[in-house]
Structure 1
C-alpha cells in the first residue's frame, strides 16, 4: 500500500515537473521569438533608406505568455508607470509607436504627432464595437441593447443619432449656456444652504468640492427628481466610477464584486427614475431648457433616441449612467487639481493673487460671474489647460476596420489602435519640463500690442485632452465652463486658507498625488487632499 502511494506521488511529481518544464520552454521560446522579431522590426524604423521609409507595422513588444502578452504589465495601477517605461523604450530604440498583445488583442500604441493626427482623420478606424463592449461590461446592458445603443450607423436621415443630439443640444452656444446657468444656480444654492460656511469650517477641500459639484452637475443634467428619489445615489456611483476601466477590460466579478454590485445598483436606481419620469410627460408643445423630472433638454432628446432604437428600460438606464459620467467624471477632478494648485503654498507666490485679479474682472454688478468673460481670462485658462495636459491620462481607442497607414504606421484590419495622452502631453520634445505644473505654459503675447492671451492652437497631435476627430468629447465646452465657474464662485465668495495636506499625497511637501487606477482613466483621481478653512465673505453669495 505504501509502495503504491509512493509510486503515485512520484508519478505526480514527475508529471508536475514535466508540466513546469513545458510551460517554461513555451514561455522562453515565445520570448525569444518575439524579442527577435522586435529587434528586426525596430531596425526598420531607424533605417534611413528610401525603402525602409515606407509604412510598416509598429514593433511588437516582447512577451513571455502566449495570448496574455503584455496584459499584466499594462494593467499596473500606478498611473504613469507603464507609460514612463514605454517612453524609455521609445527613446532607447528611437520609436514613435509600439504594439503589444493586450488580452489577446493586437494593440498598437501610436504616439507620433503625425500618427495621432491620422487617427483622428481616418475613416478606416472606428469605435462602435468598443462602445458595444462598454455597453455590456461597464453599463450592464444586454448584447442586444448594446447593439441598439451603439449602432454602426443610423441610416435614415430623418432619424435621430447621439451625434446629432449632442450637436444641437450640448455643443450649441444656447444649449451649453442653459446647462451652465442651471449648474451655477444649483451650485450657488448648495453653498448658500450650508450654514456652517457662514461661521467658517475646516474641510478637506476636494472631498468638500466633490459632494457639492456632484449635486449641482447631476441636478443640472438630470433634474432634481433623481437625487430626491435617491439621496445616496453618489455612493454607488462613486464606486462604479472608480472601477469603470476595470469593468471595461472585463475584470471577472470574482475580483471586482463591489464594482459590479455598484454598477447594478446605480442602473436599478436609474430605471426607477426613468419610470417615474415617463409617468409624468410634458404637455404637448412644451420643450423647456430644463425641467425637474429629466433635467436638461439634451437628456430628454437622448430618451427620444432610446425609444427610437427600441432600448429596454434596463438598457436606457445604463446609457444614462454613462451620460452622467461624461459630465461629472472628468470635470470634477479637473476642478480639484486646478484649485489645489491655485491654493497650494508650493505654487509660484504670485499665482493666487494674479488669478484673483483676473476673477474680479469677471464679477458682474449683481455679484454673479460672467461666464463668457471667464473663458477669456489668460492665466486662468492657461492654468486650466495645464491641468488637462498634466493630469489627463486618456486613451483614444479605435478598432481597425480595414488595413491602413496612419502617419507611417501600418495597422491591420482586426487590430486596435490607441493614442495615449500621457506619452504626448509629457513628451519633452513637445513640452519643456513636462513633469512640472507651469500655469503660464499656454500664455501668449501679441507682438504688436503687447496684450497677453492664451492659446492651444497648432498643437495638433501633441495635445488632445478631449480626444479628437468625429469622437471628440461633446461635453468639452460645458466641462470648461463648469470648471472655471466653480473656481470663480468659490474664490470670489469665500476666504479659503491653507491649513495643511492630508492623506497619502506624494507631491512636493505632501501635495496630493495621483490616485491608483488603470491606464487611460482620463482625468486622473486625486490621492490625498488639502485641509483648508473656508468661510463665507460678508460680501459673498
Structure 2
C-alpha cells in the first residue's frame, strides 16, 4: 500500500510542471483573445492553444477528429479566431477569421502552396526524399519574378514552373480545347450506355458517375492511351482514393499494406504510360484543336514531361508521383459528339444553377489551404504570421460559420443545403448569402430585372473558399465548374433518375483532403428520356 502511495506522489509531483504550464498557457490564451475585443487590440501573433502534453500536442485530435477539433480550436465566444496548434515537434497557425483569410489571399508572400506540395508528395504520392529536397528548397515563390532573397536556379523553380503550367493548361489557352474534348468523350460515353426508356436499377450512384464522368475527365486531360494500356488503372485510382485518408494520417505500410500496394501499382502504370507515349507520340497526331493528342492527352502534359525532368533530382519515378496527384485531383473531384448540345455561356448565366453549384461546394468541400512566408514575417489583417511558419485555413470551418452565413431567421442553417442561399433579391433585404446587415441592404440589380434574383459571391472572399483564394487559388477551378455544370445539364436532359436511397450519411474520414463522399452506396433507377420529334 505504501508503494502505491509513493508511486501516486511521484506522478503527482511529476505532473506539477505540466499542470502549471497548462494553466499559464490558458491564461495567456484568454488574455490575448479578450484583448482583441478591445477598440485598439494591435497586431500580434495568434496565441497557442493550451496543451497538457507538449510533445504530443494536439496531434491525435487533429488527425482523427479534425472536423470537431478544428472548429472548436478556432472558435472563441462564438466568433472565429486564429490560433496556433501543436503537432508533435511542429506547430501550425490556424487562420479562420474571415478578414484574416481574405488578407492571406491578398498577400503576395502568402501565395505559395509549396509546403503542402511536399507533404502530399511525401506521404500521399510516394515521392522519394531525394526528389522532395528540390521542392522543399524552392523558396522563390510562384510568381514569374522570384523573391529577391531567393537563390534558387531558374530550372529548379518548381513552384513557379508548376503553377504556370497548370494555369496555362487548366485556366488559360488549354481550357477551351480540354473542355471540348471532355464534352465529346462524355457524350460518347452517354450514347453507349445500355439504358433505354425502361427503368434500370443500379446499386451505386457515386460509382456510376466515377466510371463515366471520371473516365471522360481522365481522357480529356491525359489521353486515351493511359487507361487503354492499363485496363485496371481506373479501378486502382478509386481504391487509392479510398486509401488517401489513411496515408495522410501516416499509417504504416505494415498496418495498412493495401493502400501502399495500390499506390505502387498506380505509379508503375503511370511510368509504363510514359514509355508507351514516348514511343508512339508524333507531332502529326495532334488533334485539330492544336492541344490534345491520344497519347499525352494535352499540351499541359507534354510540357510537364519537358520542364519537370530538367529539375534537379527528378526522374520518371518522381514525375509519376506528381502526376498521380494531378490525376487524383482532376479525375476524382470532378468531331463525333452526342446529339446533346448546350451553350456553356447560357449555363454560366443561370443564377439559380450558379447558386446550387456554390451551395454544393460550400456544404461538401472539406479542404485545408496552407501558406508560408519563408523570408519574412507578414501581417495578416490584425495578426502576424512569423517567418517560415505554416498557416492553414479550413474551408469547412469557414463554410459552417453561422455568424457569417444567412440562415433566413434559422430556417436554413449553415449545416443544411439551401439552393437559394447565394441569390440576392432586389426586393428582399433579407436575401443573399451574408447575414442581413444594415450595410448590406443596398441591392445592385444592374443588368437584371428588378424582380429577378441574381447570383452573388460579393463579401465572401474569406468565407466561400472551396478552391482557396488569391493568386494561389486552384488553377483547375474554371474547368471544374464547366465540367460540373455540363454534366448536370447532360444527365438531366438525357435521363430520368430516381434515387432510391433517401437516408444516407456523408463521410468525413478524409477531412481536409477535398470533397465529402457518401458512406453508403446510393441505389438509384435510371431510364433514358424519350426523344421529342
TM-score range, shorter chain: 0.7 to 0.9
Matched-pair contact (CA < 8 Å) for 2:33–2:76:
no
Displacement of 1:158: 13
Q: Deviations over 1:437-477 (max 9, x none)?
A: 11111123527733443121332112121111221100001
Moved more, 186-195 or 462-471: 186-195
Displacement of 1:15: 10
Q: Does 1:428 align with 2:402?
A: yes
Partner in structure 2 of residue 535 of structure 1: 527
Partner in structure 1 of residue 107 of structure 2: 122
Distance in 2 separating the partners of 1:259 and 1:15: 47
Equivalent of residue 418 in structure 2, options 438, 463, 478: 438
Q: Mapping of 1:383-402 within 5 angstroms?
A: 383-401=356-374, 402=376
Matched-pair contact (CA < 8 Å) for 1:116–1:461:
yes
Q: Does 1:141 align with 2:127?
A: yes
Q: Does 1:40 align with 2:43?
A: no
Displacement of 1:214: 1.6
Distance in 1 separating the partners of 2:395 and 2:373: 20
Distance in 2 separating the partners of 1:479 and 1:19: 60
From the superposition, tell whether residues 256 and 38 of structure 1 become closer, same or farther in structure 2 (CA, over 3 Å).
Answer: farther
Distance in 1 separating the partners of 2:257 and 2:359: 36
From the superposition, tell whether residues 14 and 261 of structure 1 become closer, same or farther in structure 2 (CA, over 3 Å).
Answer: farther
- Give the paired residue count: 483
Equivalent of residue 72 in structure 2, options 85, 90, 95: 85
Q: Does 1:320 align with 2:323?
A: yes
1:208 is paired with a residue of what secondary structure?
helix
Distance in 1 separating the partners of 2:21 and 2:255: 28
Displacement of 1:164: 2.0
Displacement of 1:121: 2.4
1:68 is paired with a residue of what secondary structure?
coil
Equivalent of residue 371 in structure 1, options 338, 344, 348: 344
2:388 is paired with a residue of what secondary structure?
coil
Distance in 1 separating the partners of 2:61 and 2:373: 24
From the superposition, tell whether residues 487 and 95 of structure 1 become closer, same or farther in structure 2 (CA, over 3 Å).
Answer: closer
From the superposition, tell whether residues 16 and 259 of structure 1 become closer, same or farther in structure 2 (CA, over 3 Å).
Answer: farther
1:278 is paired with a residue of what secondary structure?
helix
Task: Name structure 2 gaps, 5 residues minimum.
Answer: 141-151, 408-413, 426-444
Partner in structure 2 of residue 507 of structure 1: none
Moved more, 187-196 or 485-494: 187-196
Distance in 2 separating the partners of 1:524 and 1:326: 14
Structure 1 ranges of 4+ moved more than 6 A: 13-19, 157-160
Partner in structure 2 of residue 275 of structure 1: 275
Distance in 2 separating the partners of 1:365 and 1:444: 36
From the superposition, tell whether residues 16 and 304 of structure 1 become closer, same or farther in structure 2 (CA, over 3 Å).
Answer: farther
Moved more, 388-397 or 529-538: 529-538
Q: Does 1:409 align with 2:383?
A: yes
Distance in 1 separating the partners of 2:357 and 2:117: 29
Displacement of 1:406: 0.8
Matched-pair contact (CA < 8 Å) for 1:124–1:403:
no
Equivalent of residue 354 in structure 2, options 381, 404, 409: 381
Distance in 1 separating the partners of 2:220 and 2:76: 44
Partner in structure 2 of residue 181 of structure 1: 180
From the superposition, tell whether residues 255 and 101 of structure 1 become closer, same or farther in structure 2 (CA, over 3 Å).
Answer: farther
Distance in 2 separating the partners of 1:23 and 1:321: 48
Task: Name structure 1 gaps, 5 residues minimum.
Answer: 1-9, 332-363, 502-509
Distance in 2 separating the partners of 1:269 and 1:242: 18
Equivalent of residue 66 in structure 1, options 37, 49, 54: 54
Matched-pair contact (CA < 8 Å) for 1:74–1:519:
no
Moved more, 184-193 or 17-26: 17-26
Distance in 2 separating the partners of 1:422 and 1:381: 20
2:64 is paired with a residue of what secondary structure?
coil
Q: Does 1:302 align with 2:304?
A: yes
Q: Deviations over 1:220-243 (max 9, x none)?
A: 111111111222213332233234
From the superposition, tell whether residues 460 and 329 of structure 1 become closer, same or farther in structure 2 (CA, over 3 Å).
Answer: same
Matched-pair contact (CA < 8 Å) for 1:201–1:533:
yes
1:463 is paired with a residue of what secondary structure?
coil
Displacement of 1:23: 6.3
Distance in 2 separating the partners of 1:370 and 1:176: 16
1:489 is paired with a residue of what secondary structure?
helix
Matched-pair contact (CA < 8 Å) for 1:63–1:70:
yes
Partner in structure 2 of residue 195 of structure 1: 194
Displacement of 1:216: 1.2
Distance in 1 separating the partners of 2:196 and 2:6: 71
TM-score by length of 2: 0.82
Structure ranking higher in helix proportion: 1
2:27 is paired with a residue of what secondary structure?
helix
Distance in 1 separating the partners of 2:340 and 2:68: 45
1:405 is paired with a residue of what secondary structure?
strand
Distance in 1 separating the partners of 2:404 and 2:37: 20
Root-mean-square deviation over aligned CA pairs? 3.1
TM-score by length of 1: 0.81
Distance in 2 separating the partners of 1:318 and 1:397: 20
Matched-pair contact (CA < 8 Å) for 1:202–1:533:
yes
Matched-pair contact (CA < 8 Å) for 1:105–1:416:
no
Equivalent of residue 519 in structure 1, options 485, 493, 511: 511
Displacement of 1:244: 3.0
Distance in 2 separating the partners of 1:303 and 1:370: 34
